Every structure is written in C-alpha cells, then in structure tokens.
Amino acid sequence: MINTVYELITDVMAKQYPDRVAFRYVAADGKTVVEKTYAQYVQDIRRAVTYFKENIPDIKGKRVGIMSRNCYEYGVNSFGAILAGAVVVTINQKKTWPELEYELGLAEPSLIVNDGIDYGCRPDIEAAYGDKLRPMDAFKDSAPAELVDCVGHDDLMVLMFTSGTTGRSKAVMLSEHNFFTTVECQVKFGDAMLDYKHEHMPEDKDDVLSNFAILPLFHLGTFICLFVWACKGWALNLSADIRDFYRDLGLMHSDAIAVAPMLMEAIYKDVKRGRRARLNGVWNPCGSSAMFDGAMLAELAQQGMMITQVYGMTETCGDGIINYEQDEKHIRAVGKPDDHAEYKLDETGEICIRGGCVMLGYYKDPEATAEVLDADGWFHTGDLARVDEDGFYYITGRKKNIIILDNGENVSPEELENLLSKCEAVKECIVREKGKKICAVIYCGEADQQTVRDFITETNRTLPLYKRMSAVEFSTEPLPRTGTGKLLRK
C-alpha cells in the first residue's frame, strides 16, 4: 500500500500510470476538453518544487496558501509545495475579507498562489498581500527538480479551515499519516465501485474510472481525491464553477461525482423529470453530509445509481464511515464502522473516533484542540448518532452549534448574529436552521419589522449565496433563554 506523497508521485504516477489521464477540464472557450496525463502532471509537480524552493528561503515548514477555484494547477501546486517541504494551506477564495484577513493572518503564508479572480474583495487582498501573490501557473518556467522524500510522516503537511463555533474559523492540522490512513480506506471503496460496475454494466469494459470534481478543492472531501484517484491511476474531471455543472458534465463523461445535498437533489430531479441524458452517464453520486432523504436515495438506487455516503470531517481527514449498501433499509445510514479506526458512542450519543485519521490539532489553538481531542486520543465529532440492530450508524443531530447547509458548507450562527446586531432596531436575535434555510429569529418592535427585513436583505447582498438568511421570524417578546441566561437555540 502506498503510504507517502513521495511514493504516490514517483512510483504510482510516474511509473505505473504515466500515460493515463490524470485531469480533464474544459478550456476557456467553453467547448474544448483539455487532458493532462500523469507524466505531464509529475513533470509540472517537479517544476513547482523548484519554484517554491527558489522563491521561499528556508522553506521547511513555511506555509504556501492556495486560493483558487478548481483547476489542474491546484494539484500541481499542492504536491509541489509539499515535496518542497512546505505546508499547504487551502483557502476558500469566496470568503469575505474579514474572514480571509483572519485566516491569512493566522496561517502567515510565505506565498499565496491564486487564480487572480475578484470574488468580491480582491482589492483588500492585493493591498495586504500583494507582494506574496503568485499566479497558479507560476511554476511553468522552472526546471523540474529531482524529487526527494522530505515529508515527516507525522508532521504538519496541510492546513484546512473549518467553521468554529465562536464565529471564527479554525485551522485543522493534518499530516501525511492522516491522509494516507484515509486514502487506504477510500481506495478500497474504489474497488467496490468496480464490483458494482461489473455487475450492473457488464457491457462497459473500461475499468479506468473518472470522478467529476465540482465541489471545491479547498475542502477536504475534494482535496483527498487528488490522492485517492491518483492511487488508482484514475482521472479527475475538474469543474471550476457550479454554474458550469451541466456544460462540463456534458463534455466530460464521469463515473462518480461527489455531491452536496443540493447536487444530489438536482440529480434526482433530472432523473425524475426525464432529463437524465444531461448527466452524461454519471452513476455514482457520493454524498457526505449524512442528512439525505432515504426515499430519494432508494429511488435513485432503483434507477441504476450506486449511492454512496461518506461520513467524515476535516478533523478526521475526511475519514470516518463509508456506506455503499444499496438496500432501502440501510441506504440512508452513514455506514458500519470497520476496523481501520476505532469508533464509539459516548454517554451522550456523540460519535467518537480514534485512529490514524485524527488530526494533529487546531493550529495555534490548544484550547479548542483540548475541547475535541481527549487525553486518550478520542476525537469527539460533535455529531450525535444511533446504531441499528445491524450495526449501521445514522446521524441524528449535532451537539455543536453549527449550521450545516444544503450545499455542504458549514456556517456559524454567531457570525451572522454579529452582523444582525449591527441593526439598531434588533433587540435580540438568534440564527438557526429551519427546513433547509438559514432563519433569523428577531426580537424587535412591531413597527421596526420592515426596517429589519430591509437590513437583512442588504446584509445578504454582502454575503456569499450559501450564507444568506433566507427566512425571518419576528417575535414581539424577548427570546427564550436557558437557565444560565443564554439565548435558547432550539
């Protein structure tokens, strides 16, 4: 089993599968599909190693930020920075400036490779980090380096941000050991995909599969595919913008697709409404948010789709439990633990995981780390579950005060509450999930309700689509509080 980034690149990519396609993407003309082989990819990774070494003095352990939509160079820069000895920091390019300012300030990157697009706060980024910004293809004129294995297996290799419960994001520290623990588990899943394909599509003899990667690479769930699909010599079909979902999928046949609930529902609607052709043969939607409608999943399974659910989080390097049972009874489960990690439900019903996948901790935040990682090495996920008589786990709720949205993004209610509290008419507010929406519950004078509504509409204009408060409830009385005086959230 491949166990290091160095082996993955020098043995698997360079020697086993050099002529296979590693990436496909649609060119700027919106029509042409570009392919990159593993041989080309390795060569570019070697150039990136040289580039980072030459441009970051004393590079070992320094941080390289990657702030870009999905593209081929994302993979090149990630592995290039790692094999140059740096720590990769993936950054959500669509965040607002206060969030980016905080995250970049915490990570202190030596360089930030980025796609140069203005997502709303480009002037702020340039003002603060202009001298550190480099284009995604900055490596292209560097000479390919000889690769050496410089990665400490249990050292910090990748930093990824996750929503914190206090409104500030936390940076999860992940090691090579973490990544390859998850990779081993997911490579086995790749074999299960082939088994399904042989059984259900025997006429199709092509066992080199491809994965449509439209969820962003700054998320662990997509980032890990850079490792897993490469282990198989399979291809990632990259899509940079959710707007281009149907166009790109139509141009690049894909077997698998990682989906957030909103994409699973879009696929379901297409199947129901006789528009399956535009999905171009995709047959393995893989979801990872655990809250799907079981009947919808069962119907998709009946329609010849292999339904997969992965339960994991950034703190467990995407690892956790995986479910590809297709029977109606278990299809909604997040799966049944195997022995590659230890699992338990504590006395409150919270899932706890221990094993090689569990993060090193939160970057520069020992207090937050101590809250979730106990002395015995158990990681407390914050997710509540039940186990059925067959040993399958089902997520029943969350202990942590985080809203997980339909598109898979996590939102901290406090962050939105802080914005709402800037409106003078708002006396008290909480933000919570209602149905599939973010709902603001406001206590204000009856005459002020329209003012507050207008304030919310204007606030929404400053927020990314996924963070918008799309429902409002008014109360003419103070909001209920707990015994200790905190606003009651449920």
Residues that bind other proteins (CB under 8 A): 94, 117-120, 122, 242-247, 262-263, 265-266, 406-407, 436-437, 457, 460-466, 468, 470-471
Ordered alpha helix ranges (H), 111-208: 122-129, 176-200
Distance CA 219, CA 318 (A): 9
Between the CA of residue 257 and those of 221, 282, 288, 299, 308, what are the distances in Å?
A: 11, 7, 11, 18, 10
Nearest distance in Å: CB 447, other proteins: 22
Task: Find the DSSP H helices in 355-435.
Answer: 366-372, 413-420
CB 328 within 8 A of CB 298: yes
Radius of gyration of the chain (CA): 23
Three-state DSSP state, 449:
helix
**SS3 for 487?**
strand
- Closest separation between CB of residue 404 and other proteins, Å? 14
Q: In what order do the strands lie in the sheet with 21-26?
A: 33-37, 21-26, 235-238, 210-213, 256-259, 284-287, 308-312, 320-323
Nearer to other proteins, 244 or 299 (CB): 244
Residue type at 425? A
Query: Which residue's CB is nearer to other proteins, number 263 or number 423?
Result: 263
Give 132 or 436: the residue with its C-beta nearer to other proteins.
Answer: 436
Q: For other proteins, which is the closer residue by CB, 68 or 186?
A: 68
C-beta closer to other proteins: residue 28 or 375: 28
> Which is nearer to other proteins, 157 or 403 (by Cβ)?
403
In whole angstroms, the minimum distance from the beta carbon of 94 to other proteins comes to: 8
CA distance 247 to 419: 37
Comparing CB distances to other proteins, the nearer of 20 and 94 is 94
CB atoms near residue 421 (< 10 Å): 12
The smaller minimum CB distance to other proteins, of residues 122 and 336, is found at 122
187 vs 262, beta carbon nearer other proteins: 262
Q: What angle do helix axes 72-83 and 38-55 make, rounded to 10 degrees?
A: 50
Minimum Å distance from CB 207 to other proteins? Answer: 31
Count how many Cα atoms sit within 13 Å of the Cα of residue 210 in the half-sphere of its side chain.
23
d(CA 23, CA 36) in angstroms, rounded, equals 5
d(CA 379, CA 43): 38
Q: Between 174 and 249, name the residue whose CB sits nearer to other proteins.
A: 249
CB of 225 to other proteins, least distance (A): 20
Q: Quote the least distance from Cβ 66 to other proteins, whole Å.
A: 17
Closest CB 119 distance from other proteins, rounded Å: 5
Decide: 422 and 406 in contact? Cβ < 8 Å.
Answer: no
- Number of CB atoms found within 10 A of residue 376's CB: 7
Minimum distance from residue 465 beta carbon to other proteins (Å):
4
At its nearest, how many Å lie between other proteins and the CB of residue 232? 29
Alpha carbons 309 and 314: distance in angstroms, whole number: 16
Instruction: In angstroms, give the least distance from the CB of 258 to other proteins.
Output: 14
Label residues 445-473 b or e (16+ Cβ within 10 Å = b).
eeebeeebeebbeebbeebbebbbbeebe
Least distance in angstroms from the C-beta of 126 to other proteins: 14
Strands (E), 342-479: 342-345, 350-354, 361-362, 379-387, 393-398, 403-404, 410-411, 428-434, 437-443, 471-475
Whichever of 73 and 176 has its CB closer to other proteins, that residue is 73
